[in-house]
Every structure is written in C-alpha cells, then in structure tokens.
Amino acid sequence: MANRTIGGKTVEVNEEGFLTNPGQWTKEIAEELAREDGVPALAEAHWKVIEFCRQDAQASGKSPTLRRITTAAGVSTKDLFALFPKGPAKKVARISGLGKPEGCV
C-alpha cells in the first residue's frame, strides 16, 4: 500500500497501482489513469463502461470480468477491446478505481 496523488487527489493504491478504496475515485483520477494506460481521452463510450463497472462492483462487491461487462453493459467485445486497447481486463478495472477482476471469463 502506498499513497499517490492522481488527478489532484491523494489516494491509496496497491503495488499494482489499483485504488484500494473505490470511494476515493474521481473522474479526474480516471482520466489520469486512462492516459497512463494508453487511452488519451475518455469519450462517452468509455464512461458508459466505467460507470457500469462501478455500479456492478458496488452491487456485487467484486470487479466485473470482461464477459460480465459485455453481457450486462451492452458493449460488444470488439468495442470493448477497441475502447481500451492492449488488454482491457486490468485497464478497465484500474481506471474505474476498482480491484483486479476476480473471475476467469
């Protein structure tokens, strides 16, 4: 655990850079983490995924898997991989201020 200032706010992150408390997340944090992960600007389609992930995690207590996102958020696999290039699995969770997805699909 360490403290890190992201998007103008000091938050706690784990050794892989994931926020440890989703409650500390802000949209500015998402924007900065997205830039770090190779997503220069977050558009409406990105926010749809991020907001779904946050709501789903709050309801279920765990970070959604890619399969969960595509089936429940109505975002196709192709779009998801295009929105978050080079591996959306961890990226989406990190940008959304959640932990690593726990499922295998």
Partner 1 sequence: MAEQNRKMAFICSKGNLDMAYPGLFMGWAALGNGIDVMLFFTYWGMDMINKARVDHLEIPPVANASMKMNMMGVPGYLGIPQIMGIIPGMTAFASWLMKKKMKGLQVPTIREYLQMIVDGGGKLYACKNTVDMFGLKKEDFIDGVVDIVTVGDFIDMTEGAQIIFI
d(CA 80, CA 50) in angstroms, rounded, equals 11
| CB nearer to partner 1: pick between 3 and 76 | 76
Tokens linked to 22: 């989703």
Binding site for partner 1 (CB under 8 A): 66-68, 70, 76-78, 81, 85-90, 104-105
Rounded CA separation 103/13 (Å)? 21
Q: Which is nearer to partner 1, 27 or 100 (CB)?
A: 100
CB of 102 to partner 1, least distance (A): 12
CB of 24 to partner 1, least distance (A): 25
Phi, psi of 75 (to 5 degrees): -110, 130
Q: Which residues pair with 4 in a beta bridge?
A: 11
| Residues forming the active site | 104
| Secondary structure class of 74 (helix, strand, coil) | coil
Instruction: Tell the smallest beta-carbon distance from residue 78 to partner 1 (Å).
Output: 5
